[in-house]
Amino acid sequence: MPPDPTVAEAAPRANATTPRLGSAAFVTLIGGVVLLATLETAQALLAPSRAPTKADWTAAAAEVRAGLQSGDLIVAAPAWADPQVRMVLGDVISIPMATRMDDARYGRVWELAVHGAHADEAHGTATRERRFGAVTVRLVERPPAVVTYDFLEHWNEASVWRWDPAARAATACPWQGERFTCASGGSVHRELVEVDTRIRRGLLAPPVTGAILAIEFPAVPLGRELVLAAGLHDVWARKYANGTVNVEVWIDGQPVRNATIGNRSGWQSLTVDTSARAGQTRPVRVQIASPQPNLRHLAFAAEARR
């Protein structure tokens, strides 16, 4: 390396100041840094050994299997641990359970948790709790909602049509193969959807241009409430389009609730109080429309609950 013309050896410089000895702030500062470095090093060395192992997951899964009852919900906490739970219990976690609309119908929830986390679904009274290494298994019980009508299970009982406001005409969308299909555009079918980067099961009913898409369930046994959840399917569609979708719930020919669903809505839940009609069987219609329907893959699920 050639000598650098901008740099020369320095002569020893005089000590400019006498440090303030015993300065509490300085001692705290340097002590704090040394302590921090020690803690951080120790944490980096020890943390990997505190992570859950495959054996922990397997033992936790055995505990769940031993007490599992039909209709139990199994969840992971935090949510990012879900694949680990599915790897060891995926044979008893059905796709409908994993893609549920919400957790209200489940009276018993098995939570497999790491790092002291708790799942939103695991609310209620903890009736069992055991630790397997880094994994904690907790059984939570609470009164479940009784579903009087699951719209997804009865979706092929629905009738679907397009309402064209300009022509003031309704056109039926008949059942064709595995979906309702409208001759002039539009379809409704049940499938797995990705809403807000989570997989759900829903009726995929994208809005159509210049018309209202209506899905009517002719005989819904109503209970205390009707819950509908809706959102926009497909991460790419949410990226490349930004229109909103209006979702209206009609009961017995009357609008009772509506919501505007957009890219930020996530899986939005609407609750309709049906206690005045509890025990009655009534038609329920979901109407879907959008001023900008391009790439608006609206999906919804709904339940009537006692």
Partner 1 sequence: MTIRARDRWIGLGLFFGVVACLLASEGGQGFGRDEGQYMRAGERYWGWFEELARDVHEGHPTRAFSAASIDRYWSDNAPDHPVIMKTLYGLSWRAFHRCTCTGPARGLHPIPVRGRHVSLPLFVRDSTAFRFPAMLMAGLLAWLVFRFARAFLPVPAAAAASVLTIAQPHYFFHAPIACFDAPITTMAFAVGFAYWKSLRSARWGLASGAVFGLALGVKHNAWLMPFFLALHYLWMRRGDLRRWRPPRVPLAFVSMALAGPVVFFLHWPWLWHHPVDRTRSYLLRHLEHEHYNFEYLGRNWNLPPTDGDLKLLRATFPFVSTALTVPVTTLALAVIGAAVLARRRCKAATNQAWTPADDTTLFEGDAAPAGRSDVAMPVAAPLGASWLRPGVDVDRAPGAFIAVQALGPLAILSLPSTPIFGGVKHFMPAMPYVAIAAAVGLAFLTERGLAALRARWGLERRERGLAAALAVWVCLPAVVETRRSHPDGLSHYNMLAGGFAGGASLGMNRQFWAYCVLPMLDWVNSHPAEHGRMYWHDVLGDALSMYKREGRLAMSVGDTGFAEPGVDRSAMGVLVEEKHWALYEKFIWEHYGHLRPSLVRDREGVPLVLGYQRKGPP
Q: Which residues bind partner 1 (CB under 8 A)?
A: 1, 3-19, 21-22, 26, 29-30, 32-34, 36-41, 43-45, 47-48, 51-52, 78, 80-81, 83-84, 86-87, 90-91, 93, 95, 98, 114-115, 117, 134, 191-194, 197-199, 234-236, 239, 264
Minimum CB separation of residue 170 from partner 1 in Å reads 33
Question: Nearer to partner 1 by C-beta: 82 or 222?
Answer: 82
Nearer residue to partner 1 within complex by CB, 43 or 184: 43
Spell out the residues 6+ positions from residue 243 whose beta carbon is closer than 8 angstroms to its own: 262, 290, 291, 292, 293, 294, 295, 296
CB 289 within 8 A of CB 212: yes
Looking at the DSSP bridge assignments, the partners of residue 191 are 202
Q: CA-CA distance, 189 to 60, in Å (whole number)? A: 38
Question: Closest Cα to residue 232, out of 191, 192, 204, 273?
Answer: 204
Q: How far is the CB of 226 from partner 1 (least distance, A)?
A: 27
* Residue with smaller CB distance to partner 1, 195 or 247: 195
Least Å distance between CB 31 and partner 1?
A: 10
Q: Which is nearer to partner 1, 190 or 305 (CB)?
A: 190
In this structure, the strands spanning 108-113 and 73-77 are parallel
In angstroms, the CA 258 to CA 112 distance is 36
What span, in angstroms and rounded, lies between the C-alpha atoms of 288 and 214?
6
Token pair 């935090």 is found at 78
What is the separation of C-alpha 299 from the centre of its chain, rounded to a whole number of angstroms? 13
State the nearest-atom distance from the C-beta of 96 to partner 1, in Å.
10
Closest CB to partner 1 among residues 26, 281: 26
CA 109, 113, 95, 173 torsion: positive or negative? positive
Minimum Å gap between C-beta 21 and partner 1 is 5
Q: What is the closest distance, in whole angstroms, from the C-beta atom of residue 26 to partner 1 in the complex?
A: 6
Three-state DSSP at 174 gives coil
- Structure-block tokens of residue 72: 């139990």
Calpha distance 151→140 (Å, rounded): 27
Distance in Å, CB of 216 to partner 1, minimum = 27
Cβ proximity to partner 1: between 38 and 184 the closer is 38
Q: Which is nearer to partner 1, 69 or 197 (CB)?
A: 197
